[in-house]
Amino acid sequence: MRPKKSPVIRERFGVLLHSIRFRLVLWFTAILAVILFAFSAFLFYTQSRNLQEEAIHELDRRVTGLVTNVQTALLQGDGQTSLPNGLLRDTDVFILLSPEGTVLASQGPIPVQEAIQIVSAGLQTTPRTGESSAIYWTGPNSQNYAFIIAPVQSPLGINFLIIFGGILDPSALIRRFLLTLVAGSLLTLAVALAGGFWLADRAMRPVKTITQAARTIGETDLSRRLNMKSKDELGELANTFDAMLARLQAAFERQRQFVADASHELRTPLTIINLETSRAIASRRSPQEYQHALSIIHGENDFMTSLVNDLLTLARMDAGQTTIEKTPLDLSDVAVETVERLTALATRNGVTLEAGNLPETHILGDRQYLLQMLSNLVENAIKYTTGDVKRVCVETGKADGSAWVRVSDTGPGIAPEHIPHLFDRFYRVDKARTRAGEAESDPEAPSGSGLGLSIVQWIAKVHGGEVRVESAPGVGTTFEVRFKAV
């Protein structure tokens, strides 16, 4: 009974069979084998013809010598002739025939009658194309003979005939040549196969490194890099892989930060609600105290609702689940609608909300998203404007092929060091004032989650627009969004 192959060996063999290395070598060897075969066949065909022709020419040359020799003998012997012994080899067949067909002289390993029969049979099948056309015959010892018939004219004008047969050496030469070709080809293929495996193995080694490194990279540890220095295609692949890892790591980090920040933001209002309810139910309170507690809870509830809405909006934006339907619209219409919607809020905050210069400004955009963008900017302006004169102005206009909308306020302004971070998620200029320690902080202080401007920037971006901020501390702030005008 044959021992069964172990599953490990079978698995390894399967892996090898499916490896690029193996298939590469196999293809390479197969192509080389086809080329070698074609080349050898061509070489064999041309060389064997050459050798054959060379051998026949040699026989022809010998026949010419024989003819001259026989002619001389006829001249001297006047019709009597003898064998041209010096010119004949033991294996040669030589027959001299008189015009009547009588054998005048003969020699050779083949009986005369048989030789004549071979020649006359050959004459019927082989077309006579020239003087050197030969009749081929293979003897019992597998010796290949070529027979040549040559006329000899005696001095008296009588036509004699020579039948000459010689062994054709090329067949042995050709066999040797064929053997060399086959052996050479097989050796080349074996060397190519071994060399191919070695080369493919070397070339594929970096792939193994990449695979092993990729295996060690876990979801929580994306800090590993391949750091391959080579400049070839695999080096390029490794660099692309490293760059992808860096992007993934940054994305994971952002995601983690986002979840941590969101939880943190929700924890504060939840703590405040918990605190207020505990305080209210701990002992009997006056109706005013209950009302105060409820209004704080209500405020926190509003905050959480807006925070959750903003989080949802950003999550949808990140997941690419938002559909933006751009249609031609007038930016000044969007500005007017925003001012109308937020006038009540402005009045409640003691802010004068004005619609400034609003010429027709056409762009391609999604009305709902643009309304949200402008509302966020105006709400911020209302929220953060303090002082005696509280004024917020919305304007639109066109310049150099672009359309813009501006929201300016007479608020406290933003210090230059905060401006680069304004659009970061959860970034707030004055954290202490807005949310942290809320229970103890000024209840009149504006509260925000730090997500509004991130949403503004995202909406501007999907419309091919750009947000700019200009702010002078103590004077006011202007937010401007620029789009391509149509």
Residue 377 near residue 393 (C-beta atoms within 8 A): no
- Nearer to ligand ADP by Cβ, of 116 and 451: the residue is 451
Confirm or reject binding of residue 165 to ligand ADP (CB under 6 A).
no
- Nearer to ligand ADP by Cβ, of 154 and 376: the residue is 376
Confirm or reject binding of residue 414 to ligand ADP (CB under 6 A).
yes
CB of 381 to ligand ADP, least distance (A): 4
Closest residue to ligand ADP, judged by C-beta, is 448
- Nearer to ligand ADP by Cβ, of 276 and 310: the residue is 310
CB of 444 to ligand ADP, least distance (A): 15
**Distance, CA of 149 to CA of 95 (rounded, Å):** 10
Return all residues near 25 (Cβ < 8 A) that are at least 6 apart: 193, 196, 197, 200
**Distance, CA of 353 to CA of 338 (rounded, Å):** 10
Residue 479 pairs in a beta bridge with 407, 469
Tell which one of 108, 165, 450, 465 touches ligand ADP (CB under 6 A): 450
Residue 106 has which token pair?
């003969």
Confirm or reject binding of residue 334 to ligand ADP (CB under 6 A).
no
Return all residues near 327 (Cβ < 8 A) that are at least 6 apart: 364, 365, 366, 367
- Nearer to ligand ADP by Cβ, of 206 and 448: the residue is 448
Long-range contacts of residues 316-323, Cβ cutoff 8 Å, at least 24 apart? 317/455, 317/458, 322/462
Number of residues that bind ligand ADP (CB under 6 A): 18
Tell which one of 60, 265, 409, 480 touches ligand ADP (CB under 6 A): 409
Confirm or reject binding of residue 406 to ligand ADP (CB under 6 A).
no
Binding to ligand ADP in span 419-448, by CB under 6 A? 422, 427-430, 448
Tell which one of 477, 480, 481, 482 touches ligand ADP (CB under 6 A): 477
CB of 319 to ligand ADP, least distance (A): 20
Q: Which of 400, 376, 384, 389 is nearest to 453 (CA)?
A: 376
Residue 278 amino acid letter:
S
Binding to ligand ADP in span 227-266, by CB under 6 A? none
Tell which one of 74, 167, 353, 453 touches ligand ADP (CB under 6 A): 453
**Distance, CA of 434 to CA of 452 (rounded, Å):** 14
Confirm or reject binding of residue 380 to ligand ADP (CB under 6 A).
yes
DSSP string, 121-167: HHHHHS---STT--EEEE-TTS-EEEEEEEEEE-TTS-EEEEEEEEE
Residue 455 amino acid letter:
I
**Distance, CA of 51 to CA of 325 (rounded, Å):** 83
3-class DSSP state of 235: helix
- Nearer to ligand ADP by Cβ, of 237 and 266: the residue is 266
Confirm or reject binding of residue 384 to ligand ADP (CB under 6 A).
yes
Binding site for ligand ADP (CB under 6 A): 380-381, 384, 409, 411, 414, 422, 427-430, 448-453, 477
